[in-house]
Structure 1
Amino acid sequence: MTIIHKQLALEEAEPGMVLSDDLFDPQGQILLSKGATLTEHMIASLARHDIAVVRIEMGEMTPEEEAAQHAYFAERIEHLFRKQDDSSATAALHRLVRLYRLGEQA
Protein backbone atom coordinates (compact mmCIF):
# COMPACT_ATOMS: atom_id res chain seq x y z
CA MET A 1 0.00 0.00 0.00
CA THR A 2 1.05 3.57 -0.63
CA ILE A 3 1.38 5.91 2.33
CA ILE A 4 -0.20 9.34 2.02
CA HIS A 5 2.04 12.23 3.10
CA LYS A 6 1.12 15.80 3.87
CA GLN A 7 3.33 18.81 4.33
CA LEU A 8 2.24 20.89 7.32
CA ALA A 9 3.37 24.15 8.84
CA LEU A 10 4.98 23.38 12.19
CA GLU A 11 2.16 25.29 13.93
CA GLU A 12 -0.31 22.73 12.54
CA ALA A 13 1.69 19.72 13.78
CA GLU A 14 0.22 17.92 16.78
CA PRO A 15 1.60 15.41 19.26
CA GLY A 16 1.09 11.86 18.00
CA MET A 17 1.70 12.66 14.33
CA VAL A 18 4.37 10.57 12.58
CA LEU A 19 7.15 12.03 10.40
CA SER A 20 7.23 10.67 6.86
CA ASP A 21 10.82 11.82 6.19
CA ASP A 22 14.02 12.44 8.11
CA LEU A 23 14.09 16.00 9.41
CA PHE A 24 17.30 18.02 9.09
CA ASP A 25 18.36 21.35 10.57
CA PRO A 26 19.68 24.14 8.30
CA GLN A 27 23.25 22.80 8.74
CA GLY A 28 22.24 19.34 7.52
CA GLN A 29 22.27 17.61 10.90
CA ILE A 30 19.48 15.13 11.45
CA LEU A 31 17.02 16.30 14.11
CA LEU A 32 14.43 13.52 13.92
CA SER A 33 14.30 10.29 11.96
CA LYS A 34 11.57 9.15 9.60
CA GLY A 35 8.87 7.40 11.59
CA ALA A 36 9.37 9.48 14.75
CA THR A 37 6.15 10.21 16.63
CA LEU A 38 5.97 13.89 17.52
CA THR A 39 5.58 15.04 21.12
CA GLU A 40 4.91 18.53 22.47
CA HIS A 41 8.57 18.74 23.51
CA MET A 42 9.76 17.76 19.99
CA ILE A 43 7.50 20.35 18.33
CA ALA A 44 8.79 23.08 20.65
CA SER A 45 12.37 21.99 19.95
CA LEU A 46 11.80 22.10 16.19
CA ALA A 47 10.52 25.67 16.51
CA ARG A 48 13.74 26.61 18.35
CA HIS A 49 15.70 25.10 15.43
CA ASP A 50 13.79 27.34 12.97
CA ILE A 51 11.97 24.41 11.35
CA ALA A 52 8.87 25.81 9.65
CA VAL A 53 7.47 22.76 7.81
CA VAL A 54 7.23 19.01 8.50
CA ARG A 55 6.05 16.10 6.33
CA ILE A 56 3.58 13.88 8.15
CA GLU A 57 2.19 10.40 7.38
CA MET A 58 -1.57 10.69 6.92
CA GLY A 59 -2.42 7.01 6.43
CA GLU A 60 -2.51 4.51 3.59
CA MET A 61 -4.30 4.63 0.27
CA THR A 62 -6.88 1.97 -0.41
CA PRO A 63 -6.32 -0.22 -3.48
CA GLU A 64 -9.09 1.74 -5.22
CA GLU A 65 -7.38 5.07 -4.45
CA GLU A 66 -4.05 3.69 -5.71
CA ALA A 67 -5.68 2.50 -8.94
CA ALA A 68 -7.37 5.86 -9.45
CA GLN A 69 -4.09 7.71 -8.85
CA HIS A 70 -2.26 5.39 -11.26
CA ALA A 71 -4.91 5.96 -13.95
CA TYR A 72 -4.77 9.73 -13.41
CA PHE A 73 -0.96 9.79 -13.73
CA ALA A 74 -1.05 7.58 -16.85
CA GLU A 75 -3.65 9.83 -18.50
CA ARG A 76 -1.76 12.99 -17.51
CA ILE A 77 1.56 11.68 -18.85
CA GLU A 78 -0.01 10.76 -22.18
CA HIS A 79 -1.59 14.21 -22.38
CA LEU A 80 1.74 15.92 -21.67
CA PHE A 81 3.55 13.86 -24.31
CA ARG A 82 0.74 13.88 -26.91
CA LYS A 83 2.72 16.06 -29.33
CA GLN A 84 6.11 14.52 -28.74
CA ASP A 85 8.55 14.54 -31.59
CA ASP A 86 10.55 11.53 -32.70
CA SER A 87 13.74 12.58 -30.94
CA SER A 88 15.53 10.08 -28.74
CA ALA A 89 15.71 12.67 -25.93
CA THR A 90 11.92 13.07 -25.83
CA ALA A 91 11.41 9.31 -25.96
CA ALA A 92 13.88 8.83 -23.10
CA LEU A 93 12.16 11.51 -21.02
CA HIS A 94 8.75 9.93 -21.67
CA ARG A 95 10.10 6.52 -20.65
CA LEU A 96 11.70 7.92 -17.46
CA VAL A 97 8.58 9.85 -16.43
CA ARG A 98 6.47 6.70 -16.85
CA LEU A 99 9.01 4.69 -14.86
CA TYR A 100 9.08 7.28 -12.07
CA ARG A 101 5.35 7.95 -11.81
CA LEU A 102 3.92 4.57 -12.79
CA GLY A 103 6.73 2.18 -11.94
CA GLU A 104 6.69 0.71 -15.42
CA GLN A 105 8.72 0.75 -18.59
CA ALA A 106 7.11 2.74 -21.42
Structure 2
Amino acid sequence: MQNILLVFLKMHRNCTDKTLALTLGISVDQYKELETGDLLMTRKQAQKLGRLFKVDSKYIYDCAMLIDEYKTKDTILTITKNSLFSVLDRLEALIEKLANEMSSKPPIKQ
Protein backbone atom coordinates (compact mmCIF):
# COMPACT_ATOMS: atom_id res chain seq x y z
CA MET A 1 0.00 0.00 0.00
CA GLN A 2 1.26 3.45 -0.84
CA ASN A 3 0.23 6.96 0.01
CA ILE A 4 -0.73 7.78 -3.57
CA LEU A 5 -1.13 11.49 -2.82
CA LEU A 6 2.39 11.67 -1.41
CA VAL A 7 3.81 9.75 -4.37
CA PHE A 8 1.96 12.03 -6.81
CA LEU A 9 3.13 15.21 -5.10
CA LYS A 10 6.70 13.91 -4.96
CA MET A 11 6.67 13.09 -8.68
CA HIS A 12 4.83 16.30 -9.66
CA ARG A 13 7.38 18.46 -7.82
CA ASN A 14 10.35 16.31 -8.92
CA CYS A 15 11.38 15.63 -5.33
CA THR A 16 13.53 12.74 -4.19
CA ASP A 17 13.07 10.58 -1.13
CA LYS A 18 16.25 12.15 0.23
CA THR A 19 14.90 15.71 -0.18
CA LEU A 20 11.66 14.80 1.56
CA ALA A 21 13.48 12.97 4.34
CA LEU A 22 15.69 16.03 4.92
CA THR A 23 12.61 18.29 4.94
CA LEU A 24 11.03 16.09 7.61
CA GLY A 25 14.24 15.57 9.58
CA ILE A 26 14.09 11.78 9.22
CA SER A 27 16.10 9.10 7.42
CA VAL A 28 15.33 8.03 3.86
CA ASP A 29 14.23 4.63 5.19
CA GLN A 30 11.81 6.33 7.58
CA TYR A 31 10.45 8.46 4.74
CA LYS A 32 9.85 5.32 2.67
CA GLU A 33 7.95 3.87 5.64
CA LEU A 34 5.83 7.05 5.74
CA GLU A 35 5.10 6.70 2.05
CA THR A 36 3.98 3.09 2.47
CA GLY A 37 2.05 3.75 5.65
CA ASP A 38 4.33 1.55 7.75
CA LEU A 39 5.22 4.62 9.82
CA LEU A 40 2.43 6.86 11.08
CA MET A 41 2.69 10.44 9.85
CA THR A 42 2.39 13.21 12.41
CA ARG A 43 0.48 16.44 11.85
CA LYS A 44 3.76 18.33 12.06
CA GLN A 45 5.21 16.21 9.24
CA ALA A 46 2.08 16.76 7.16
CA GLN A 47 2.40 20.52 7.75
CA LYS A 48 6.02 20.49 6.58
CA LEU A 49 5.06 18.57 3.46
CA GLY A 50 2.08 20.87 2.87
CA ARG A 51 4.37 23.90 2.93
CA LEU A 52 6.86 22.22 0.60
CA PHE A 53 4.22 21.11 -1.89
CA LYS A 54 2.06 24.23 -1.41
CA VAL A 55 -1.07 22.22 -0.58
CA ASP A 56 -3.30 22.06 2.47
CA SER A 57 -1.60 19.73 4.94
CA LYS A 58 -5.03 18.38 5.91
CA TYR A 59 -5.16 16.40 2.65
CA ILE A 60 -1.74 14.87 3.25
CA TYR A 61 -2.54 14.01 6.86
CA ASP A 62 -6.01 12.65 6.07
CA CYS A 63 -4.59 10.42 3.35
CA ALA A 64 -2.00 9.05 5.79
CA MET A 65 -4.72 8.41 8.38
CA LEU A 66 -6.86 6.54 5.85
CA ILE A 67 -3.94 4.30 5.00
CA ASP A 68 -3.34 3.66 8.70
CA GLU A 69 -7.03 2.85 9.20
CA TYR A 70 -6.99 0.46 6.26
CA LYS A 71 -3.86 -1.30 7.50
CA THR A 72 -5.30 -1.56 11.02
CA LYS A 73 -8.55 -3.06 9.74
CA ASP A 74 -6.62 -5.45 7.49
CA THR A 75 -4.55 -6.62 10.47
CA ILE A 76 -7.67 -7.08 12.60
CA LEU A 77 -9.32 -9.04 9.79
CA THR A 78 -6.27 -11.29 9.42
CA ILE A 79 -6.13 -11.96 13.17
CA THR A 80 -9.87 -12.65 13.30
CA LYS A 81 -9.68 -14.99 10.30
CA ASN A 82 -6.76 -16.90 11.84
CA SER A 83 -8.64 -17.17 15.14
CA LEU A 84 -11.72 -18.52 13.37
CA PHE A 85 -9.65 -21.15 11.56
CA SER A 86 -8.14 -22.17 14.89
CA VAL A 87 -11.60 -22.52 16.44
CA LEU A 88 -12.80 -24.52 13.44
CA ASP A 89 -9.81 -26.87 13.71
CA ARG A 90 -10.54 -27.49 17.40
CA LEU A 91 -14.24 -27.99 16.68
CA GLU A 92 -13.47 -30.54 13.95
CA ALA A 93 -11.15 -32.40 16.35
CA LEU A 94 -13.87 -32.47 19.02
CA ILE A 95 -16.46 -33.73 16.53
CA GLU A 96 -14.10 -36.46 15.36
CA LYS A 97 -13.38 -37.47 18.97
CA LEU A 98 -17.10 -37.58 19.76
CA ALA A 99 -17.83 -39.62 16.64
CA ASN A 100 -15.10 -42.11 17.61
CA GLU A 101 -16.45 -42.40 21.15
CA MET A 102 -20.00 -42.92 19.89
CA SER A 103 -18.95 -45.59 17.39
CA SER A 104 -17.07 -47.57 20.05
CA LYS A 105 -20.08 -47.75 22.43
CA PRO A 106 -22.86 -50.30 21.97
CA PRO A 107 -26.18 -48.87 20.79
CA ILE A 108 -28.73 -47.88 23.44
CA LYS A 109 -31.62 -50.34 23.74
CA GLN A 110 -35.08 -48.84 23.92
Give the helix-richer structure, 1 or 2: 2
- Both proteins in one fold, TM over 0.5: no
Higher relative contact order (CA 8 A, sep 6+): 1
Give the strand-richer structure, 1 or 2: 1
Decide which structure has the larger Cα Rg and report it.
2
Q: TM-score range by the shorter chain?
A: under 0.3
